[in-house]
A and B are shown apart, each in its own frame.
Chain A
């Protein structure tokens, strides 16, 4: 978990969405984002150890838009609708699914789910959110236009 490469993550997302995506590591804990959040749960096999990613919903709405050919503004607006339209929800899910490749070097990491409210997180994952033992923060930039935080929280 501590070896997540910003270069590898940047390449992975750039290749997926077809736009320049840059992951810049942050050495200090960033200020709490004012954007709506997305809580994403992954499971590391074989022990099913959970990883929680907390990220800005507009950032992933925009990346999902890039994936399916929607303008950023439109994609972000759709991502913030309640309920989220299937097209953008499915595209965000696919971006997060491919992101699992960047979260581990050797183990299999599977996307388990995403939620916009932490009340939907399982107990184990909620405990990680409240008291993560290891945190990795990135500032993410999409095509020099959209910016957001991508935080990886895990037990260890």
Chain B
């Protein structure tokens, strides 16, 4: 698993996968989860290069998921893709250890700009 993609919307997971391909990240294996709790299970024993997560999800939100990951001393790069656009949300995300916040709607260029410092250019 190279990227763990966490979003309760199947459509959004499909759109993010499409944007990743358009941004040139075709060679990476992507695992999906529907919420933070499911993502924690998928993360067990895995060392992805990046986690991409929605913010608002049932069962466990994206920010709670990030805090759980960091509480387990896991420093995997973590980015949000969310419709939340307020400065408060962005500050909370970055202050909790996220590397970036991409706001929906997004383009493949937005994804590329955010991922290049972490995964390199394609």
Q: Cβ of A127 < 8 Å from any Cβ of B?
A: no
Shortest CB distance B119–A (Å): 24
Q: Cβ of A121 < 8 Å from any Cβ of B?
A: no
Q: Cβ of A93 < 8 Å from any Cβ of B?
A: yes
Other-chain residue from B9, B85, B89, B104 in contact with A16 (beta carbon distance below 8 A): B104
Shortest CB distance B114–A (Å): 16
Q: Cβ of A86 < 8 Å from any Cβ of B?
A: yes
**If the complex has contacts A12-B105, A101-B83, A110-B56, are A94 and B89 also in contact, measured as CB distance less than 8 A?**
no
Q: Which residue of A lies closest to B7 (CB)?
A: A94
Count of chain A to chain B residue pairs whose CB atoms are closer than 8 Å in the complex: 40
A86 CA to B9 CA in the complex, in Å? 10
Q: Cβ of A100 < 8 Å from any Cβ of B?
A: yes
**If the complex has contacts A16-B105, A87-B10, A90-B9, are A97 and B15 also in contact, measured as CB distance less than 8 A?**
no
Q: Which residue of B lies closest to A14 (CB)?
A: B105
Shortest CB distance B68–A (Å): 22
A101 CA to B105 CA in the complex, in Å? 10
Q: Which of A29-77 contact B (CB under 8 A)?
A: 64, 67-68
Q: Which residues of A come within 8 Å of B, CB atoms?
A: 12, 15-16, 64, 67-68, 86-87, 90-91, 93-94, 97-98, 100-101, 106, 108, 110
